[in-house]
Amino acid sequence: MFTTQVNVLGWAAAILAAFMLLPAALSFGVAEDATGATFLVGSGLTLFVGGTAIIATRGTEHRIDLRGGFLTATLLWTLVPALAAIPFVLSGIFASFVDAYFEALSGFSTSGATILTDLESVPRGILLWRAILQWLGGFAIILFAVVLLSFGGVGGMNLFVSPMPRGDRDTLLGRTERAARSMWWIYVGLTGLCIFALVVVGMAPFDAAAHAFSTISTGGFSTRTVGIAAYDSVGVEIVLMIFMLVGALNFTMLWSVTRGRYGPILKDAETRYLLGIVLIASAIVVGALAAGQSLGLGSSVRTAAFDVISALTTTGYSASSSAASGALPVIVPVILIGLMLIGGATGSTAGGMRLMRLSVFFKLAGRELSRLSYPHGVVRLRYGGQIIDEPTLRSVWGQLMMFLSFLALGALVFGLLGFDLQGALALAATTLSTAGAGLALTAPELSYPAFSDATKWTIIAAMIIGRLELLVVLVLFTRAYWRS
């Protein structure tokens, strides 16, 4: 029954083992031999697990349907971080397995929450591995959205607009293979452009590569303890803002751009909403900063633009002028939490509720207001040129209500664990939106390393549920799912 899942996990482990060789090579190259040996051992163990799974399922037919896809995705985002944590455990940098697993999952889920406190003293191989995990997780979540969610119409994803051709008779595995081939080089190319741009504006090559991996994936891991504040560079911030926005766009639209077709992205509603929200939210934050006299006009604009983009794309970076965010007007972290909850476009690496769903929700709210004046009127709702049918509206509504319910539940649980209202809300919002690095923007007095194991496990569960769009995980706990 589970041979396909085992086979997929085996190949995922084999790919992970191959990527572990990159930090191993870097470590030996910079004379961090102990760290290099750690990654070689980790690669060997991971390859053994993957190879065993592949060999055990060899010769069997591998087919997967929507139900199997939900289980496969949940297993991938649960078990792959456990294998990715092996070098963390062997390195001795983390105090316990929960810390190592927390860091690995935070990377693979592109959350950006970190247990490490002094990144300048951490071996470069470890820093590179964190960034690679975010990069791999970002690409995996694109495939997850473009293939699985759109295939099943989860949370209204049957409205997902994609200019990529696909056969109606494609299997789930066939769609995955086709999407991976189509978007892999786009993802790699954008990462290369980001590295080049960061080097041009003065960032060291190693830092540029690590930040490019984290930026394209909208992950938020940095190589510096104080994050982007360490560079205090307008050029660095501009480059990061551009590529954070790129990471939050629908990647199938970027696919059409690479083929000289600009119409789809210019007409895409989510792209317009993304840019519009950035402009409006930045103006509000600038006004709040100016009214509070926290910063000068130039610094206010710089802070507002960077932090708004970082929050909306769920990256969680903090700009140099935002280092003292604890002293900013209260309205600013509230706005940033709201932006993290909104998130980026469908088919992007960003988290959150997604712009498409928020758009449909407001269209639905407008229709209900219209019905108060015209109870018998017929109002057709459209999105991207498509008429939105009632099942899709119910699906979107259900997804949003489930997200908000888990937000409230998460805040309640964090409150029971000892956090005040602001801290509990900030933790619930950042973890469910996979914007863990954004805790420095919304509740800078909190620190992940200081949390209890119970809090860390709660965050781990929230990161998995939030990354996999809630319903994909929750359906596994229903009796109907396991009926044959």
Check if the beta carbon of residue 403 is closer than 8 Å to that of residue 470.
Answer: yes
pLDDT at position 100: 96
Is pLDDT of 7 > 70? yes
CA distances from 403 to 268, 355, 388 (A): 24, 14, 21
| Confidence band for 323, pLDDT divided at 50, 70 and 90 | very low
pLDDT at 157 over 80: no
Which tens digit of pLDDT belongs to each residue from 66-108? 778 888 889 999 999 999 999 999 999 998 999 999 999 999 9
Residue 368, pLDDT above cutoff 80: no
C-alpha of 469 from chain center: 11
CA dihedral 348, 353, 355, 359 (to 10 degrees): 150
Q: Which whole number is the average pLDDT over 277-291? A: 89
Q: Which residues pair with 387 in a beta bridge?
A: 382
Structure tokens at 45: 């163990």
**Sorting pLDDT into bands at 50, 70 and 90, what band is 167?**
low
**Amino acid 166: pLDDT:** 60
The Cα–Cα gap between 422 and 424 comes to 6
Q: What interhelical angle do 33-56 and 21-29 show, nearest 10? A: 160
Q: Is the pLDDT at 295 greater than 70, yes or no?
A: no
Closest CA to 142 of 251, 288, 226, 39: 251
Q: Which two tokens stand for residue 444?
A: 């800078």
Query: Which tens digits make up the pLDDT trace of 412-457?
Result: 999 999 999 889 999 999 999 999 888 888 888 888 999 999 999 9
Gap between the Cα atoms of 129 and 297, Å rounded? 39
User: What is d(CA 3, CA 128) in angstroms, rounded to the nearest whole number?
Assistant: 33
For the chain, give every domain's residue range.
Answer: 168-443
Residue the block writes with tokens 């041979």 = 3
Report the distance separating Cα 382 and Cα 375, nearest Å. 20
At 166 the three-state DSSP class reads coil
- Residue 186: phi and psi, rounded to 5, are -65, -45
More confident residue, 399 or 163: 399
With a CB cutoff of 8 Å and minimum separation 6, the contacts of 462 are 406, 410, 428, 431, 432
103 neighbors 97 (Cβ within 8 angstroms): no
CA distance 268 to 395: 21
The answer, yes or no, to whether residue 257 has pLDDT greater than 80, is yes
Q: What are phi and psi of 46, to 5 degrees?
A: -65, -40
**What does the longest C-alpha to C-alpha distance in the chain come to?**
75
Name which of 252-256, 288-292, 321-325 the model is least confident about: 321-325
What is the 3-class SS of 45-88, one letter each residue? HHHHHHHHHHHHCCCCCCCCCHHHHHHHHHHHHHHHHHHHCHHH
- Identify the pLDDT of residue 134: 96
Find the mean pLDDT for residues 9-20. 95
Q: Measured between alpha carbons, how far is residue 454 from residues 103, 111, 197, 235 in Å?
A: 15, 19, 41, 41
Q: In the chain, pLDDT over 90 holds for what percent of residues?
A: 52
- pLDDT average, residue stretch 306-323: 80
pTM of whole model > 0.95?
A: no
Of residues 153 and 80, more confidence is placed in 80
pLDDT band at 229 (very low <50, low <70, confident <90, very high): confident
- CA 453 from chain center: how many Å? 23
Tokens encoding 91: 């390195």
Query: What pLDDT does 325 receive?
Result: 46
Helices (H), 417-484: 421-432, 439-442, 453-467, 471-474
Of residues 306 and 152, more confidently modeled = 306
- The size of the chain, in residues, is 484
Inter-residue contact 302 to 319 (CB < 8 Å): yes
CA distances from residue 83 to 20, 166, 350 in whole angstroms, order as listed = 11, 33, 24
